[in-house]
Amino acid sequence: MSIQWFPGHMNAARKKAEESMEKTDLVIEVLDARIPQASCNPMIDQLRRFRQRPCLKILNKSDLADPAATQEWINVFNAQKDIHAVALSCKKPSDVAKISALCMKLAPHRGTALKPLRVMIMGIPNVGKSTLMNALLKKRVAAVGDEPAVTKTQQRLYLGNNMVLVDTPGMMWPKIEFPSDGLMLAACHAIGTNAVIEEEVAVFLADRLLERYPQFIHSRYGIDPQESDGVDVVEGVAKKRGFRLKGAEPDFEKAAHAFLTDFRSGALGRISLETPESRARLLATFAMPEEQRPE
C-alpha cells in the first residue's frame, strides 16, 4: 500500500511558511524519535536551506523510542552542517527548559530585547509541536490533540522579551517517495485515518517488530515470534483480547487498532522503526533498477 496525504490546507501552510522564513532566524524542526528520518519533511529542509537558516532538530517522544537507535540518529544529524539535534520529551518540563539556550547558541547574533531571536517551530502533523509551544510558554496557547492536523494556522508569540516563537501547522509533502515511510508515518499516527487502512498498517508494523523487537511481541501477547508473521500477530492480538466476530472469526479490524494503540502509547516497549543503517539499506534498494529490487 502506498500512502499519500496532503490536504489542501497544507499547501496554504507551505506558502505561508515560505513567506515567514525570510523573517526567521532559526528553525526548530520537531521529529518523531521513533522515525527520525521518515518524519523529516523535505519541504522544510528546502525552505530553510534556501534562506540559510540553522536548524535545531528535536527528536520528540524519545521516551517511546529505542535509546540506542536515537543516539545513532543524533550522531548522524549532528554531523550535518547548521544542524544541532537533541532527543527529549516535550511533556517533560526539565527537557523543554534546555531549548532556549540551545536556540541562542545556534543564532548568537540575535536574542536581545531590540533584536529578539525569531524562531519558527515546524514539523509534520502530530509530532508534538503544539505541546512544545505550550511547554515553552508555560501556558496553553496551542490546541493539542492525539490526531494529525490539529493546528491549521500560524501563531506568533513572545517567549520573554528576547525570543519570538512562530508555531506552524503540521505539514506533509505532496508525495511520499518510499512506501515504507508512509506506513511508518501511519503507524506513528502522523497521517489522517481517512488516508490509511489500519489493518495493513498493523501488519506492516507487526512484521517490522518481529524483525527488530520480537521479544516485545512475545512478552505482550504470548505469541511465538519464530512461528509468526504480521498477520499471525494481529490475529494473535484478537485472540488474546477476545476480539471475535460472529462465527468465532477473529475481529481483525479491532485487533489492528488495539495493536497500533499499544505501539503508540509505548505499552509494547521503547521502539524505533528505523535506524541509520536500515535507512541506508532502503536508499540502496531504491537506487537499484526496479527489476533487481528484493520482493
- Determine how many CB atoms are found less than 10 A away from the CB of residue 115: 11
| Own/partner pairs, 193-198, CB within 8 angstroms, 24+ separation | 195/3, 195/4, 195/5, 196/3, 197/1, 198/253, 198/256, 198/257, 198/260
User: CA 186, CA 192: separation in Å to the nearest integer?
Assistant: 8
- Determine how many CB atoms are found less than 10 A away from the CB of residue 131: 18
126-152 per-position pLDDT tens digit: 899 888 988 898 887 765 544 444 455
Listed range (48-52, 146-150, 264-268, 277-281) with the worst mean pLDDT: 146-150
Mean pLDDT of the chain: 89
Does position 27 have pLDDT exceeding 90, yes or no? yes
185-226 per-position pLDDT tens digit: 999 999 988 889 999 999 999 999 999 999 999 999 999 999
User: CA 49, CA 44: separation in Å to the nearest integer?
Assistant: 8
User: CA 151, CA 20: separation in Å to the nearest integer?
Assistant: 17
Residue 162 sits at φ, ψ, to 5 deg, of -130, 10
| Cell matching residue 92 | 517533560
Does position 294 have pLDDT exceeding 90, yes or no? no
Quick one: average pLDDT of 66-94?
A: 95
Instruction: Report, in angstroms and rounded to the nearest whole number, the Rg of the chain calculated over CA atoms.
Output: 20
The domains located in the chain, with CATH, are: 8-167 (3.40.50.300), 197-287 (1.10.1580.10)
Q: How far is CA 78 from CA 51, 82, 102, 123, 268, in A?
A: 20, 9, 13, 18, 29
Residue 141 sits at φ, ψ, to 5 deg, of -120, -10
User: CA 216, CA 233: separation in Å to the nearest integer?
Assistant: 12
Q: Which of 70-84, 108-122, 189-203 has the highest mean pLDDT?
A: 70-84
> Residue 35's pLDDT band (boundaries 50, 70, 90)?
very high
Helix axes 276-287, 67-78, angle to 10 degrees: 70
DSSP state at residue 56: E
**Which has the higher per-residue pLDDT, 178 or 152?**
178
